[in-house]
Structure 1
Amino acid sequence: MHYQLNLLLTDSPAAIERVLQTTRYRGFTLHQCEMQTASGEIQLNMQVSGEQPIHLLTSQLSKLYDLLELVLDPSSVRVNRLFEPQVDALAVS
């Protein structure tokens, strides 16, 4: 699934590095990243994808001491591929 994350970080030398490392460690792939700095803060918008539930990433990102705000854009959540429901064949006696 694809997700859009909007983060507000303190403007410290390794803040973005920690976010990207956490994203990679949690098994998510970065597809797009935009960054702007202003007033001692970094606005980081990233599009990521992964097979794991997004809460595995957001819960770890929320522990970073550089993080001031984290918003998961619900309109950006989309499925990579559609799966057909599996129907189990029942033996009828």
Structure 2
Amino acid sequence: MTNTLFITLQNDAAAIERVLQCARFRRFTIYTFSGESTKEQTFLTLKVSGSSAIEHLIAQMRKMHCVREVQLQ
């Protein structure tokens, strides 16, 4: 099953890569991602699927310092 995550990050050059690494580490396949930045934050949309529960990935991302918000669609 494919899930779409809407993630708000701090505007940090390495934040997007940290989020992608988190998804890969949790063994999720990243199908697409796109981002848009402002001065203060970055908005990232990820389309992922994996054998683990998506809630585990969301919980892990919410613990990350660079992540401000995660929403599942």
Query: What TM-score comes out, normalization by structure 1 length?
Result: 0.75
Structure 1: give runs of 5+ residues left out of the alignment.
74-93
CA distance in 2, matches of 1:23, 1:72: 14
Alignment of 1:1-93 (within 5 A): 1-73=1-73
Report the Cα offset of residue 44 of structure 1: 0.1
**Which of structures 1 and 2 has the bigger CA Rg?**
1
Q: What is the TM-score normalised by the length of structure 2?
A: 0.95
Q: How many residues align?
A: 73
- After TM superposition, where is structure 1 displaced by more than 6 Å over at least 4 residues in a row? none
Partner deviation per Cα, 1:22-66 (whole Å, 9 max, x = no partner): 000001000010100013210000100111111121111011101
